[in-house]
Structure formats: structure tokens, C-alpha cells
Amino acid sequence: MSPLVRGLRHQIARQLRDDIATGRFREGDPLREVELSKRFGTSRGPIRDALLELTKEGVVVAQRNGGVAVAPPVGDEITKLITPIRQTIETYALGMIFDSLEAGDFATFQRCVDHMQIGCQRGDHALVAEADLAFHRAILDRAGNHCLMAIWSTIVGQLQRHFTSACREYANLMDYHAEHVALIEAFQSGNRAAAVKALEEHIRWPIRQSAEASTERAS
């Protein structure tokens, strides 16, 4: 396979992974090669390779008819297991780049938050989730470590429910937007430890939410 096609396969897999993580594709939705090849304007070869990549990650599952469909989201116990791994990867990446962050980087973070604001104002949870995912990916993109990105992408694929459910827990979606504004301010503060702590606490949401739900059930 040529480098161009191999790159295309990764681009398609990344977009489909994002579509699943943000709820544009839901559990059980079929991903058909013919439809996807039309969408991405390519042959079925790169589509097939991208779907195979997602199957190996557990993001989609093979069907008896030979196609694939979006896999069920992982349960709370698995979420609690892998969220700290995501937390470690993102805070490590932030620590790597913190001292070299510059105006262009903050502009990238701000663009993500601006898109999130539009989604919050519209009540468009999918757009909010998409902007949320882009914000966190920007940290990994800036770190430029392909191994970290590969591990992070796989974990995020398994946490597909998080990005759509996180914002739904807020009575006022603008509060979710405000959390990300505060993260940018922490990144700009010059205080590495405080910025890493802020990001760490932000990512802990699925664990906090699961613990609160367990407490409510127990009571």
C-alpha cells in the first residue's frame, strides 16, 4: 500500500472514530463501505482498511452479514479503568509542551472553544462533543508524539459515550464551555503544575459521575 493510501486510511479512521465518539453514529449503526466511499470520495479499499483498524480497536464490531456496526459503549467499570490512562497521556503531553506553548497554540485551543460555544448556544450536543474532542486532540497534536496519539485515539474510541454524555449532565451548557475557557486560562498562566492539575481534574469527570451515580443508587 502506498504512503498516500495508508495516510488516507488513517484519516478516514480518525473521522469515523470522531463521528462515533461524538454520537453522530450510535450503537448498532451500520457502517457501509459503499456509502462511506461516496462520502469520502475514494475507493472501497481505504474504507475497508479503516474499518478493519476500528474493528481491531473494538470501536466497531463485525456483523454476520459481513459488514460492521458501531460497538456498544464500554461499561462503567472499564470507563473507570481506562479514564486514568487517558488522564495520564493528556497531562503528560501537556507537560511536554507547556513551556513552548505560543500564540498559535492558544489560538487553536480558542477555535475549539469558540465552536463549543456555538454548539452550547444552539443546544447541539453533537457539536459540543465534536469541539470537546478537538480541544483535547489539539494537546496531543501539539506534542507530536505518534505513539501517544495512537494510544490516546484507541482509548478515546472506547470512551465514545463520554464526549456525548458529559455535556448532557449540565443544566446550562455554557457552564461546560466555561470549563474549557478556564483550561485555556490555566494553560496561559505559566504555572505548569496548576495547568496539569486543572486538566487532570477536568478529565476525571466520568469517574466522578459514575461514583455519584453509585452513591445515589446505594441511598
Where are the domains positioned within the chain? Answer: 3-70, 76-218
Q: What is the pLDDT of residue 209?
A: 53
94 and 195 in contact (C-beta within 8 Å)?
Answer: yes
Between CA 28 and CA 32, with CA 30 as vertex, the angle to 5 degrees is 170
Q: Can 3-70 and 76-218 be said to share one CATH topology?
A: no
Beta bridge partners of 214: none
CATH of domain 3-70: 1.10.10.10
> 52-97, pLDDT tens digit by residue?
989 988 889 999 888 999 998 888 888 888 899 999 999 999 999 9
Whole-angstrom distance, CA of residue 105 vs CA of residue 111: 10
Residue 217 predicted with pLDDT over 90: no
User: Which pLDDT belongs to residue 161?
Assistant: 67
Strand partners, 6: none
Q: Of residues 51 and 58, which shows the higher confidence score?
A: 51
CA-based radius of gyration for the chain: 18
76-218: which CATH topology? Four Helix Bundle (Hemerythrin (Met), subunit A) (1.20.120)
The three cell numbers locating residue 7: 495516510
Please give the average per-residue pLDDT across 154-159, as a whole number: 82
- What is the DSSP secondary-structure string of 45-105? HHHHHHHHHHHHHTSEEE-TTS-EEEPPPP-HHHHHHHHHHHHHHHHHHHHHHGGG--HHH
Digit-coded pLDDT (tens) for 104-124? 999 999 999 999 999 999 999
CA 21 to CA 160: how far, in whole Å? 4
pTM for the whole structure: 0.79
Residues of the chain with pLDDT > 90, as a percent, come to: 56
